[in-house]
Structures are given as structure tokens and as C-alpha cells.
Amino acid sequence: MLESDSCSCCPNTIESPWHVIGECNDDVAVQARSEWGDRMWEVLRKETTVQSGRTALRTDVADAMKRLWARDEHGRIPAWTPGSVGPVGGCLMEDVEMRELLEGVAAAGSWAVWMGVFSRSWMKLLTAGGLSHKRARIVTGKISAIISECRCAVAKVRHERAARESAEAMAERRRILELDVRKYHAMDKRSAGSGKPPLDQLLANGVVAQRKYVRRQRNAEEGRTKEMERKGRVVSLRAASAAGRARAAAICYSDWANLFLAENNSWRTNPRPAGNEEEEAEATGEAQWTGIRRG
Ligand SMILES: [Zn+2]
């Protein structure tokens, strides 16, 4: 994906500018890089032949310089840091002065060498290698133009891939949108007369109209769901409060029932003792009357 900073072509690789230009193993990028190195070499190779009275570049110097633009077996540019001599480290050029000048060029680092940062070491090397100052300027100018062109060509591989991927991502988003349109259209409870558009028409509409329809239907659907949840809550609350009232009533009833039973039990377990009628009767006129009658 475009949003990601990892290279979609090389697994687990951060897509840094150096990766894009120097290391991405996209076949087209590898090919473009190969042409890039070959074209730079071609400029130097031409300088090794004497043309119209000019002095030529020494072949051993040109051959040694070719090492600066070497790619590894995977078509990648080996990265080396400024200060190190990178690919010219193993150069066994017999001319020590030339070797040191070449190492001076390489010491600018891989980025400078491949991106066309021409230090003074370049002029020293080319003029010491046989070119006039003017010719050396022309040579670095030619190499510089090739670098600009080829660097763009390599970067273009990446940009075209990204554009292709984003086109694929867009097609994927459209497919998902169409699925949503079909889904919400099927769920759309309105009748054709009351605002529900025909599916054919929806699908023929642009992406903007389709998104709008899906958004509106999704909101309506969410609204319905929330309303149902709300009603569900109300029903369960009512059920809970009805149950609460029933429970409260049941408690009242059982209190009353318990009281009744308790009293009833006490009547049953403590029956009035026999013979008590007289004691009780003493308090009444009737008892006095009874006693008088007995007496
Ligand atoms: Zn890559």
C-alpha cells in the first residue's frame, strides 16, 4: 500500500530513497539500474580512444573507475559510507598515485558517486588520467546528465508501481462499496415509490452518490438498531418494575399470611384451658348470677 513505508516489492524492507534508487529488487528497477551503470561506463570507455587529436583517458584508469559503478549479483548498488573506499578497496592498480586519486573519488560515499556529486577528486583523477581540464568537465557533465535521467527512470519504476497499486486499491474500495450498496439496498425497507432508488440506478451512479446512499442507510439502520435497543431496555425496565411491584405485593401478602398463621398457630398451640370459663365468668354479671344460682 502507498500509506505504508515498507517496500511492496521487497518483503520487510523500509522503502527509503536509497532503497528505491539503489537496492529495490523490482525487476524493472534492476534493469534500469543496469542500464544506468552501463551508460556511465560507456562515456568513460569512449574517452579511452583517441578522437580528433584529443588525448585519451588511460584504459587502466577507466577500468579502475568502472568499479565505482559496480552492482552486486542481485543488481543492487553496494552502499558505502563517506570516508570509506567501498568497491575500489580491492583495486590493485599499480599506479599508486592513480589508486589514491580513485580512492579519493570513492571516499565521497555511494550516494555521492551514484547521485552525481562531483568532488574536486574527480577532476584530479580524470586530468591525471589523461584528459584535458575542459574534456574532464565535459565528461563529468555527461555522466551527470545520465545520472539525472537514470535516477528518474529507477524512481519512476517505484512511482508507477505505487500508482498501479493505488489503482488496485481503488478498484478494491469500489468493489467493497458495491457490496455495501447491494447490502443496504436489500435492507432498505422503503418502497420504490417512497424514495427507495432502483438498484440498477444506484449501481450506475457515481461513487459519491453510492457512498452517500450507503452512509444514509447505515445511519438509518444504526438509528433503528438503537431504537430497538432502547425499546428493549424500556420493556425490560417495565418488566423489572412490574416484577418489583409483584414482589412487593407478594411480600405484603406473605407478611399478612405469616401473621395470620402465627396467630392461628398460637390459638392452636395455646388452647384456652378448660375451667377457665368460671374465672372469666367471675368478671361478669353472669358469673355472679351463676354463683348465686349455685349457692
Ligand atoms: Zn523494494
Ligand 1: centre distance to CA 17 (Å): 10
Contacts of 248 (CB under 8 A, 6+ apart): none
Ligand 1: centre distance to CA 22 (Å): 9
pLDDT for res 52 = 75
Ligand 1: centre distance to CA 64 (Å): 29
Ligand 1: centre distance to CA 105 (Å): 28
- Residue 291 pLDDT > 50, yes or no? no
Pair 143, 122: CB distance under 8 Å: no
Residue range 92-119: mean pLDDT, rounded: 91
pTM above 0.85, yes or no: no
131 to each of 49, 59, 139, 198, how far by Cα in Å? 11, 12, 9, 78
CA–CA separation, 241 and 112 (whole Å): 81
3-state SS, one letter per residue, for 142-193: HHHHHHHHHHHHHHHHHHHHHHHHHHHHHHHHHHHHHHHHHHHHHHCCCCHH
DSSP SS3 for 250: helix
What single-letter amino acid sits at 242? A
Q: What secondary structure letter does DSSP report for 129?
A: T
Residue range 248-260: mean pLDDT, rounded: 67
Ligand 1: centre distance to CA 3 (Å): 15
Cell of 283: 368478671
Q: How many residues does the chain have?
A: 295
> CA torsion 37→64→42→105, rounded to 10°?
60
Ligand 1: centre distance to CA 274 (Å): 113
- Residue 223 pLDDT > 80, yes or no? yes
pLDDT for res 245 = 82
The residue extents of the domains of the chain are 17-175, 188-242
Cell of 234: 424500556
pLDDT by residue (tens digit) across 18-77? 999 999 999 999 999 999 999 999 999 999 997 777 789 999 999 999 999 999 999 999
DSSP SS3 for 123: helix
Q: For ligand 1, a single-atom ion, which residues have Cβ within 5 Å?
A: 7, 9-10, 24
CA–CA separation, 61 and 102 (whole Å): 8
